[in-house]
Each structure stands twice: as structure tokens, then as C-alpha cells.
Amino acid sequence: MPAGKSSVPLIALSLVAAIGLGLIGYFMYFDDDETTADGAEGKGSATGVKPASEEVKSSSKSAASTGETGEVDPMQVIARLKQEGVALQAAGDFEGCIKKFKLLSKVQEKIDPKGGSHLWTNIMLAATMLQLSSSKAGQGMKPGEPAPEPDPEAWNLLVDSSAALHEIAVDFCEVGELEKAQGLCQQLAQVQAQLLGPAHPNVLQTLSTMGGILAYRGDLGGSRELYEAVFAQQVSQGQGGDLTSKLTALSLGHVLWQQREFEASSKLLEATEVSFKTELGQGDMLTMLVRVELALLRQAEGKRPEAEALFALVMATEGDNEDVAKQLDCFILNQGRAWGESDERVVAMRDAAARLRSKAKA
């Protein structure tokens, strides 16, 4: 059974709410600028919306607005498919809904393959597929009989689509659109927790990313709370020795020294440094990064000789320090905006990045 997988009865109970959450996120973060329910004027179907199936056949011919030329506007096709799919789902016609959502996803991906609209649709599609399989399984189950495994095709679609949306949130971070990234992570984490289970690795990854976003925005308290929750969950699942949990420990250690929680930070960073050195090697980027974090911690504690010894160790290690400096750049840029360029933590990180780059120029 995949990590965090819910039983079929649990899926059946939570699915309608989860689909609603996905739909909200879908409209909120990936607006296709199409005609909405209020603007669509189609008639003739049971849902009050003109069937879009035939229109899709010609929708790829042109992206021009419907007008005197008679060409079909793909945005109107998308709007109608959305309405039809949601209406069919609400009416309990899961098979009809699945057909609509599959078609909708194809149209959206064709129009904007790098956007996230089709991924939200895929999540709604997977949720509906799971609801259909749950309904069918429930009809044939005897009292006391164990619930069958969820539909593997639907489960994989759900996991893969949510992971792809997480990557879009990471892309937002990389271009400095932190508000969009945070909003997407919040919405995605809610949907993932509903459908995958709150302890699923995808959920923890999304929450960890949101912890990083909050740290970038200067909200150390919120960041710490998320990192601590994720780390505790990872340890409770026996993942304390995994790379992902060690990266969480590294991130939490960073936040803690910035909060001047030196003892707690030191404990995490020292353990992570020993682990990275043993498993990844002296010259690995992560080993050097955690040593730089330790140096910054010692510097913040006022332990200048220890900090200098750690910096010297990093500078003497064979390897490219540019990647380590780039990791600091993200905090320097974003936390500099949040706290001001003269904040002592920002200044310390900027000086550390400059020292790392001096090695490459030497």
C-alpha cells in the first residue's frame, strides 16, 4: 500500500469535500480567462449548459474568439466542460464526469502545456475515479470484508499531478513570486491531505516547501512550526535517517539560529553535518552547506574562532562553492526585502556568500 494511502471507506467519506477544495484552487491559481458560469449562454442540456464535446473537435483549429468567422473559442469550451463535469459529479454520474474531465484536461494541456490548469483537473479526475471505484466496491462488499485497494491508475494520477503542481510552486519561488507560491502550497496541501492522507510524502514535501517560503518572507515563527511538524512526522514514520528528513533538519536548524535558538539549532546542524559527511562525502554541496550554516550559527553566538575554523574547512575542501553560495542568495534576496539589507543575519549571509565565491576567483 502506498505511503499515506487511505482505505476506500475513508476516501468515500472525504472525496466530495476534497473535490470542492481542488475546484477552488483550480479557479484561484490557474484562471484560464474563459467565460465563467455566469457568462456562458449555452442551453439544451440537462445541466443548462450546451454540450461541449463536439466543439472540442474543432477547438484546436483556432484560439480566436467566437465571432463572425464562426471559429470556436477554446476558453468557452473549457468553461463549458468545467460546468458539465462538476454538474455530472454533483448528480452522481461519475462515469460521465470522468469523460468530461479527461477531455477538459486534454484541451487545457494543449492550450497551455506548462500551466497548471490541467493538473488541477487531473486531481479532480482522479478523485472522481476513486469515488467511482469506491462506490462499485461498496456495492459488492460483505459485512466485515476488508476494503479493496484504490484504483491504481487513479492513485498514480493523483500522486503525479500533485507532485507536478508542487514543482510549479517551486518555480514561483525561484522567480520571486512568493505570494503565489505560498497560496498554491496552502491549497495543494489541503487537497493532498484530504486525498493522499496527512502523512503522505507529497503532503510533507509541500508543507516543507511552504516552510521555506515563510522563512523567505521573514515569518520565522510560521516556518519553524511547519518544519517541526514535518520533521516530527518524518521521524514518527521511521524516516529519520532518510535524506528528506535530514534536509528538513537542515532547514529547521537554519530557522532556529535566525531566531537565536542556538542550542536547538546546534543540535540539529551538528547531527546533520556528521550524517552528510559520512554518507555524501566531504566535498558534497550539502555537507559544505551545513558547515556554512554551522559557521553562521557560531558567528551569531559570538564564537568567532569556531566560525572561522568552519569557514576555513569549507574553503579548503575540494569542490565548487558556487552552488552553496546560490543557496544563501535566495535567503539574502528575500529576507533582505523582509527585514532590510542591514539586518545582521542578512549581512552575515551576504558576507558568507562572498567568501565562498572568493575561492572560485582565486
Rounded CA-CA distance 14/194 in Å is: 7
Q: What are the tens digits of pLDDT across the range 295-349?
A: 999 999 999 999 999 999 999 988 778 999 999 999 999 999 999 999 999 999 9
Residue 12's pLDDT is what?
Answer: 37
Question: Model confidence at 55, in pLDDT bands (50, 70, 90)?
Answer: very low
Which pTM does this prediction carry?
0.78
Output the CA–CA distances (angstroms, integers) from residue 146 to 119, 130, 133, in the order listed.
32, 17, 15
**Domain-embedded: residue 310:** yes
pLDDT exceeds 60 at position 110 = yes
**Domain-embedded: residue 69:** no
Cα angle: 106, vertex 112, 114; to 5 degrees:
105
**Domain-embedded: residue 158:** no
Residue 3's pLDDT is what?
Answer: 39
**Domain-embedded: residue 317:** yes
**Domain-embedded: residue 320:** yes
**Domain-embedded: residue 316:** yes
Average pLDDT, integer, range 227-239: 93
Domain that holds residue 359: 261-362
**Domain-embedded: residue 326:** yes
Q: What are the tens digits of pLDDT across the range 19-53?
A: 444 444 444 444 444 323 233 333 333 333 344 44
Domains of the chain: total: 1
Question: Model confidence at 138, in pLDDT bands (50, 70, 90)?
Answer: low
**Domain-embedded: residue 266:** yes
